Amino acid sequence: MNVTVARLTARGLLGRRRGLLLLALPVLLLALSVLVRAIAGQDESTASNVLGGLALGTMVPLVGLVAGTGAIGPEIDDGSIIYLLSKPQPRWKIIISKLVVAVGCSVVFAALPTYFAGLILFGTYENLTLGYTIAALIAGVAYSALFLLLGVVSRHAVVWGLMYALLWETVVGQYVPGAQTLSVHQWALSIGEKIASPGVISSSVHLPTAVPLLLVATLGGAWLAASRLTRLTLAGEE
């Protein structure tokens, strides 16, 4: 962990339009929660739909995408990463620092808002809110690592990330049940399932499958990102 790298990353992430985007998503979720609660009242299945579909299914991956790719992609694109890399610092330290910032963003802009949305919608009953919050937290970590890796390896990281989060996890997952085995969303749900009262949250992946896959995705993503950053080459202008 390098404080300077983290500071630069955080300022880059939050200082520009990206910061507004990160803020807009949770504000939207909270506003919607207030609205839903006012209209539909305190209803378990409604709350579960909003938290599972909107918060965990859409906001968490989007925030992870913006934070994960945004933590490194723009610097690689415009070449300013050269100032971080031309230093006697191991590259994995740079990745870890950036990952910490991306995860921090996921906590602040995705997990915490999920918690507050849960409180607004359903209070603390049946550990529904806690289950979704922990799921959002864990999914946020995994998304951050995966999308950070995408940011290192691809110039079109946002497109690939969107395709994964929206197409694969949602659309493909709906029609091809097997695809859900490789879904951060489902892995995180399986942890939420254990935390909430029985039957409140359900996942299509079992916990013994989900936990190792989450670890592989997160640690493997970070490790691969560091190793790719070590071999990063700068194409010449010519």
Binding-site ranges for another protein (CB under 8 A): 2-5, 7-8, 11-12, 15-16, 78-80, 82-91, 230-238
What does the alpha-carbon distance between residue 122 and residue 33 come to, in Å, rounded to a whole number? 10
| Sequence-ordered list of residues with C-beta below 8 angstroms from that of 53, at least 6 positions apart, any chain | none
What does the alpha-carbon distance between residue 181 and residue 203 come to, in Å, rounded to a whole number? 10
Helix, coil or strand: residue 4:
helix
Shortest distance in whole angstroms from residue 201 CB to another protein: 41
What does the alpha-carbon distance between residue 15 and residue 143 come to, in Å, rounded to a whole number? 22
Shortest distance in whole angstroms from residue 4 CB to another protein: 4
Six-digit token string for 79: 């070449």
Nearer to another protein, 175 or 238 (CB): 238
What does the alpha-carbon distance between residue 135 and residue 131 come to, in Å, rounded to a whole number? 6
Nearer to another protein, 3 or 39 (CB): 3
Nearer to another protein, 83 or 123 (CB): 83
Q: What is the CA radius of gyration of the chain?
A: 18
**Eight-class DSSP state of 181:** G
What does the alpha-carbon distance between residue 127 and residue 141 come to, in Å, rounded to a whole number? 21
Nearer to another protein, 73 or 173 (CB): 73
Shortest distance in whole angstroms from residue 3 CB to another protein: 8
Shortest distance in whole angstroms from residue 83 CB to another protein: 6
Shortest distance in whole angstroms from residue 1 CB to another protein: 13
Nearer to another protein, 70 or 118 (CB): 70
Shortest distance in whole angstroms from residue 24 CB to another protein: 20
Around Cβ 209, how many Cβ atoms within 10 Å?
A: 14
Nearer to another protein, 148 or 229 (CB): 229
Q: How far apart are the first and last CA of the chain?
A: 35
